[in-house]
Amino acid sequence: MPSALILIADGTEEMEFTITYDTLVRGGIKVTSAYVPDVASPTLQRISPPTAKCSRGIHIMPDVYFDLSLCGPDIFDLVVIPGGAKGAETMSKHPSVQELVRRYIERNKLVGMICAGSLAAKTAKLPQQPLTSHPSVKAELEHGKYSNFEYLEDSVVISNNLVTSRGPGTAFPFALTLVELLCGSERREEIRGPMVFPPDTPF
């Protein structure tokens, strides 16, 4: 059974987290969520599992506390970094998350980033390649020493094993793409039907 790790922090965008988590589970993927603390904050007592207060005030209890040694590409086939301005900032600036992204890329495991979560491609110093993000962080990804990415405005952009997307409104095609990459196109279609998207939905 394929496995996926979804990171979450205070300020994570709820839809991007829950839609991706739910869709992956529907696809038959074993999903684990891990709470990433803000490295800029004072040392917090580790409560396992902690509770993340998301961008719209919804509290979500992750499965585990983030630990680099327990979250690597030897354990999971995919790591997902959701957006939400504060949550994405916390994750993209966390040195262990940056290292995690590099390890997954080096091992040819999938890395998914959505919305401002794509900033982790910059902070992890990934090579220049096509990607997308929320429009609010476009400039940060197009310009700079480690951010001369080929910026696209497609709903989902696949660049080798990096998959990026734009925001809450593209969370479903993003998640379905991840299911397809892990489980195949037939599995994507099997779970898409019962989700009952409106007629003519283009994904």
Report the catalytic residues: 16, 115, 134
Query: 């994750």: which residue's tokens?
Result: 91
Q: Is the dihedral of CA 58, 64, 68, 73 positive or negative?
A: negative
Can you give the C-alpha Rg of the chain in angstroms?
Answer: 16
Residue pair 85/117 in contact (Cβ under 8 Å)? The answer is no
Nearby residues of 16 by Cβ (< 8 Å), 6 or more positions away: 82, 83, 84, 114, 115, 117, 167, 168, 171, 174
Residue with tokens 């839609």: 19
